[in-house]
Amino acid sequence: MNKRDLSIEVAKGFLNLPYRWGGNDPLAGFDCSGLIVEILQSVGIMARGLDYTANGLSKLYAESDLMEPGNLVYWDWNGDGIYDHIEMIAFIDDTGEVFTIGASGGGSATTSEESAISQDAFVKIRPLRDGWKFISDPFAG
C-alpha cells in the first residue's frame, strides 16, 4: 500500500473522535490541523514533534489543481488571507462527488468531550463544503 492510500486508512481510524480546540491527541481529540499533522506523521510524510496550523501546512506542500484522495483542502472562513481550516480528501464517489475527512464543528470553546458532543463536533467524512480556497498535495515529489 502506498503512503497516499495508507493516509486515508489512518484517517478513517480517527472517525468519531471528538473535536478539541488545539487538539493533537489520538485519544483525547483533534482540531483540524492536529488531525492532518497526526495523519501525515503516521505515514512518514512529516517528522514527529512538529505541529502546524492549517495556514502553516499550506506553506509546506505544493499547490495542486487535482481533487485526489490524500490531497489537502483549505478554507479561509473570515477572508483575511490566512487559512483557518483544513481537511483531507477521503474519496471521490462514482458520480464524481468529493468527500473529505476532517475534525470540525467546534471552535475555541470546544475543549472537552462534553462540549464537542453538544456542538456535533468530531472527526467525520462528508461532502466537500463550498468556499474552499486552496489544495495542496503532501505526496507530490
> What pLDDT, on a 0 to 100 scale, did the predictor assign at position 135?
98
Task: Report helix, strand or coil for 55.
Answer: helix
C-alpha cell belonging to residue 98: 468529493
Average pLDDT rounded to a whole number, residues 133-141? 93
Does residue 11 have a pLDDT over 90? yes
- Over 90: is that where the pLDDT of 47 sits? no
Give mean pLDDT, residues 88-95: 97
CATH of the domain at 21: 3.90.1720.10
Q: What does pTM read for this prediction?
A: 0.95
Using alpha carbons, list the distances in angstroms from residue 1 to 15, 111, 126: 21, 35, 24
By the 8 A CB rule, do 136 and 57 touch?
yes
Percentage, residues of the chain above pLDDT 90 = 89
Tally the C-alpha atoms within 13 A of residue 79's C-alpha that lie toward its C-beta. Answer: 0
* Domain range for 12: 3-137
Residue identified by cell 512529516 is 46
Amino acid identity at 102: G
Predicted confidence at residue 128, as pLDDT, reads 98
pLDDT at 21: 94
Give the mean pLDDT of 53-80: 95
Could you give the number of structural domains in the chain? 1
